Structure 1
Amino acid sequence: MAASTFTAPIFHVKPAVSVPKFTTSRIRTRPQTTKVKVLAPFAALSDPFVLQIAETLEDSLASTSASPPPPPLLQKLRDASSESLLSTPWPSRKDEPFRFTDTSFIKLSQIEPILSPPQSLDSLAVSSDSNLPSLVIVDGYHINSLSRIDELPSGVFVGGLSSLGSEAIMKRVSEFVASFEGDLFCSLNGVGAPDLIVVYVPEECRVEKHLHLKYYSIEGADSGSNKLPVSNPRVIVLVEKGGEIGLIEEYVGDNGEKCYWSNSVTEVVVGEGAKVSHSYIQNQSLNAAHIKWTSVRQESTSTYELTEVSTGGKLSRHNLHVQQVGPDTVTELSTFHLSASDQIQDLHSRLVLDHPRGFSRQLHKCIVAHSMGQAVFDGNIKVNRYAQQTDAGQLTRSLLLEPRASVNVKPNLQIIADDVKCSHGAAISDLEENQLFYFQARGVDLETARKALIFSFGAEVMERLPYSFLRKKFEGQIKELIDPSPPTPPPLYR
């Protein structure tokens, strides 16, 4: 068995740390954007690098904005995000949430906001292998000409906030925008998002086909360059009482070797008795940084299902926060990560249960197939006092296939209620010898046996993707990443 290193699971809760709070701030404003200008008493708490990025993002939006000012709701998001950055430092390895995640790749780069979508989209290979309604986002900008949303049911809205004409929908969306607390990267997204993409499903409306959100990253610097173009797409999904929709978020790097930073945020609100099936697929350039925030709010008797497959990015981090705010709520989370190069694949999840009879299942699987590859899992499930009769389960399993490959797992189960059924587990290993022997005893050579077992390890998650064309597409990509060598041609003569 190959020698591997890993950090053992941690099963304790850190004591809270008291942080000083300020109730007032001074922010210099101009007509369309809020300028992050630090004055006392924030000077002692502010991070110059963070403020420089925020100011660069604001300047880029001001220089490219059309004559009409941004919608008030978008301005509200930018103002709230700007204020939070006044006292938010850049994360380091000394901070517990980033203890195993090195973000110096971003900090040491020259960050440049992408000012507009590319002028020519001829080189963009937009997938047409399905008849699903789709919305295309290129470098953080919604592209109407490439989107197909005509077949959606009446009352469903999909598009930018700037094109939302319904005051009723605008009022509902305003109740949830900027309502959750994220981290530095979430706030930077709020400052730099060129628009807010809204997906709205009215009461008792069922969208039969999944909505395919396609994120393309085209603008990028050459490998080895110090420049790092950044995009900030932001989406809010609001499903009213009894509604149902399926979402597919697919992130693709058009230029496989380019360097860029995709900094994305998705907010999901699942109303009473509603259901959201969410597929999140990340296949960015292996030289890119991909940081994703997903915040989910579930009301009573609602269902949220997430299937995540992440194989790309030099630095890939997914922050997933789910809160059940009503009883009889169902949450199912399934994740597969693959580090086939010198990558970091990181999942930080938090699930909060506050009401009776909540149900949750979380499955996390990852493969580290490179000696410089890393994987991180920090999963926290908190069962609060009134969440009686909760049924919560969490399992993380990891394969280390090379010497010096590493994975750090920290499953956390915090239980305050006394009438619950909860469990969690963690397993880290190479392939088991008895499994390989089972294949060899039936005439299968060792190399073929290893490939079959490696692929089947992730298939448990990939088979939960909603459509066969997606499963086949990413099965092929994963096979190529695990075994990049071309197949041996068949012999000419037998």
Structure 2
Amino acid sequence: MSSPSPALCAAAAASCSTPLRVASPVVRFRRSGAPASVVSAARAAAAAPAVSDDLVLRIAEQLEDSVGASSPLLDPLRSASALSLLSTRWPTRRSNEAYRFTDISYLRSLPISLPSQPLAVAPPASPYASHVHFSDGVLTSSSGAHVSALADIPPGRVRDRAAAALAASAEFADKDIFYDFNAVGAKDVAVVHVPEGVSMADDPVHIMFSYSGCGDGSMMMSNPRVLVVAEKGAEVAIIEEHFGVGQEDGGCYWANPVMEIIVEENAKVVHSYVQQQSFVAAHTKWTVVQQNTSSNYEFVEASIGARLNRHNLHIQQLGPETNTQLSTFHFSAQNKQIHDLHSKLILDHPRGRSHQIHRLIASGTGNGIFDGNIKVNRYAQQTDAGQETKCLLLSSKALVNVKPNLQIIADDVKCTHGAAISGEHDPNAIYFLQARGIDAKTAADALNFAFGAHVINQIPFKPIEKKTLSHFKALLASSRQNEK
């Protein structure tokens, strides 16, 4: 795609007008045609905020042009995010506190491209009857009684519920530039809607995301989006799996997915998330969860791929007696690999419960970041909230930045948090294994593996758990070889 027109760039640089054309109801960044149309649109939108910078504008224009015709149900979300991008600057470690420890300059190191069509490969085999496949951000297949593409949902209650959820997403206050990029660039939405009282606990929905690089020296960007709605008393298990395909397991690309989950009263969602992407790929992900009264949300993450991995996990409890369980494992071992978890849990109602476990191994020149925020507001009395992070540094060049944050406004609560960073395992544990005939190196290797397996073993589906453990074990062995 060509660069923005001179008239458009001049209007943005002057900060006196905004290159917008409002084509109801979706905001347009640019209009093809004579420059006069661009100038007229800029004048018409003079009251709007100035464009952030050329890079954000170019990416937004590329995304808008690539989407083409899409479901009108996405229009409110797309329009709100387009407007937001006009006043959002590219985040840097100096200008944005949320990226203080996260170097995302890798995203600017290569030109951004967008897939013209999904890679012509058959959908990966899934051991589960209900499954969804995204190829380079394009929804290519879906199967299951309660699984569908947004565009294929007929008029009725399910369509109305999805429309209401997406319209509400437009008001999400904690979003960032990557959330907005996804909203503007999502071609379709995979919708998992579980009706009231229906249980899919034994029939998980397997959502597969495959990515491929275009091989022309650019970073191909994709923006898949998923909406999960578990109605009152419903139960559903979600397996979310991200991986590269093709040469070198997908090569260079930028995956920018968003998953939104609504857990209604007395409903339960079990969410397993595995990220095993190419080590020259970038992965910026949002997971947004809303929990209502007496609902349960259980989340297990294993991220062991990508050169740049940033996960924003945002959960809000919207009713009393709500339970949230979060377990995350990151393994950062490749050259300058970055793994970053930014989580935010908001408790607003009485007798809420939450427990968060974060574990990270960094070796070589790997970099790990954990910024965990739990906010217990005034009316969240009798809350029981716990947070624990443990990190292992297996190399003198590895780096970890940990920032646990527990903000308590209520006065009748039970809240704990702890953080530990170590360069080696407890000598007592090593001695325990040596006393049983195991040499010190093998004992250390076993303890390193067990450190990550503690979280991976919580994936409740054996085929996914075994595959993830096998991949982690191979990467751990490879990192040991590189240290020699």
In structure 1, C-alpha distance between the alignment counterparts of 2:354 and 2:330, rounded to whole Å: 20
Structural mapping, 1:329-344, within 5 Å: 329-342=322-335, 343-344=337-338
| Alignment pair present for 1:286 and 2:300 | no
1: distance between equivalents of 2:479 and 2:389? 30
How far off is 1:30 after superposition?
4.2
Contact 1:333 1:361 (C-alpha < 8 Å) held by counterparts: yes
Q: Distance in 2 between matches of 1:265 and 1:482?
A: 29
- Find the counterpart in structure 2 of residue 71 from structure 1: 71
Task: Kindly report which structure 2 residues correspond to 1:155-170, keeping only aligned pairs within 5 A, or say none.
Answer: 156=146, 158-170=147-159
Q: Which residue of 2 aligns with 1:250?
A: 241
Q: Which residue of the partner structure matches residue 352 of structure 1?
A: 346
1:417 CA displacement: 0.3
Q: Deviations over 1:77-128 (max 9, x none)?
A: 211110111111110001110011111111232011112212x215x6x134
Using the size of structure 2 for normalisation, the TM-score is: 0.87
Counterpart position of 2:318: 325
Match of 1:261 among 236, 249, 254: 254
Matched residues in 1 for 2:61 and 2:330: separation?
34
Structure 2 equivalent of residue 482 of structure 1: 476
The 1-side partners of 2:446 and 2:143 are apart by: 38
1:115-264 correspondence runs (5 A): 115-118=116-119, 120-121=120-121, 126-128=124-126, 130-144=127-141, 147-149=142-144, 152=145, 156=146, 158-177=147-166, 178=169, 179-181=171-173, 182-207=175-200, 208-221=202-215, 225=217, 227-255=218-246, 256=249, 258-264=251-257
Shift in Å, 1:29: 3.2
Q: Secondary structure at the match of 2:165?
A: coil
The alignment covers a number of residue pairs equal to 442
- Please, which runs of 5 or more residues in structure 2 have no aligned partner? 1-16, 31-41
Deviation of residue 166 (structure 1)? 3.2
Distance 1:315 1:471 in 2: 23
- Matched to 1:162, the amino acid is A
Partner-residue secondary structure (3-state), 1:273: coil
Pairwise CA distance, 1:440: 2.0
Distance 2:404 2:215 in 1: 37
| Other-structure match for 1:391 | 384
Structure 1 residue 484 displacement after superposition:
2.5
Distance between the aligned counterparts of 1:43 and 1:166, measured in 2?
Answer: 37
Instruction: Kindly state the Cα deviation for residue 71 of structure 1 after the two structures are TM-superposed.
Output: 2.3
Q: Is the 8 A contact 1:33 1:58 kept in 2?
A: no
Amino acid at match of 1:220: C
Q: Please give the TM-score of this superposition, normalised by the length of structure 1.
A: 0.86
Query: What is the one-letter code of the residue matched to 1:232?
Result: N
Distance in 2 separating the partners of 1:350 and 1:73: 28
Deviation, 1:168, is 1.4
Report SS of the residue matched to 1:483.
Answer: helix
Q: Deviations over 1:181-220 (max 9, x none)?
A: 3100000000000012111111111113110000000243
Q: In structure 2, the residue corresponding to 1:209 is in which secondary structure?
A: strand
Match of 2:3 in 1: none
Q: Which residue of 1 aligns with 2:411?
A: 418
Give the Cα–Cα distance (whole angstroms) in 2 for the partners of residues 271 and 284 of structure 1. 32
Contact 1:335 1:363 in 2 (8 A): yes
Shift of residue 458, structure 1, vs aligned partner: 1.1
1:54 to 60, 65, 78: 60
Give 2:65's aligned amino acid.
D
In structure 2, what residue type is equivalent to 1:383? Answer: V
CA distance in 1, matches of 2:344, 2:313: 6
Q: Greater CA deviation, 36-45 or 463-472? A: 36-45
Gaps of at least 5 residues in structure 1 are: 1-23, 488-494
Deviations 1:274-307 (A, max 9, x none): 0000001000100000011000000000000000
1:244-301 Cα distance to aligned partner (Å, 9 max, x none): 1000000011132600000000000000000000001000100000011000000000
* Alignment-mate amino acid for residue 139 of structure 1: D
Instruction: Note if contact 1:399-1:429 (Cα within 8 Å) is conserved in structure 2.
Output: yes
> What is the CA–CA distance in structure 1 between the aligned matches of 2:185 and 2:314, rounded to whole Å?
21
Question: RMSD value over aligned CA atoms?
Answer: 2.0
Whichever residue aligns with residue 53 of structure 1, its letter is: I
SS in 2 for 1:447: helix
Alpha-carbon contact 1:231-1:263 (below 8 Å) kept? yes
State the percentage of identical aligned residues.
47
> Residue type matched to 1:369 in 2?
S
The secondary structure found in structure 2 opposite 1:29 is strand
Distance 2:378 2:405 in 1: 17
* TM superposition shift of 1:43: 6.0
Match for residue 374 of structure 1?
Answer: 367
Aligned residue for 1:98?
99
Contact 1:34 1:58 in 2 (8 A): no
Q: 1:468 maps to which residue?
A: 462
CA distance in 2, matches of 1:416, 1:259: 45
| Cα shift at 1:48 | 2.1
Secondary structure at the aligned position of 2:252 is classed as: coil
Asked if 1 retains the 8 angstrom alpha-carbon contact of 2:139 and 2:189, the reply is: no
Q: Which amino acid aligns with 1:407?
A: V
Partner Cα distance (1:169, 1:25) in 2:
37
Q: Please tell me the residue identity of whatever aligns with 2:306.
A: G
Q: Deviations along 1:130-158, whole A, 9 cap, x unmatched? A: 234211111111112xx432xx3xxx3x1
Task: State the alpha-carbon separation in 2 of the partners of residues 100 and 318 from structure 1.
Answer: 14
Deviation at 1:441, TM superposition (A): 2.5
User: Counterpart of 1:245 in structure 2: which amino acid?
Assistant: V
Partner of 1:110 in structure 2? 111
For the residue of structure 1 that corresponds to 2:466, the secondary structure is helix
The residue identity in structure 2 corresponding to 1:127 is A
- Measured after TM superposition, the shift of residue 42 of structure 1 is 4.8
Instruction: Flag the structure with higher helix content.
Output: 2
| Aligned residue identity for 2:111 | Q
1:427 and 2:427 matched: no
CA–CA distance in structure 2, aligned partners of residues 261 and 82 of structure 1: 20
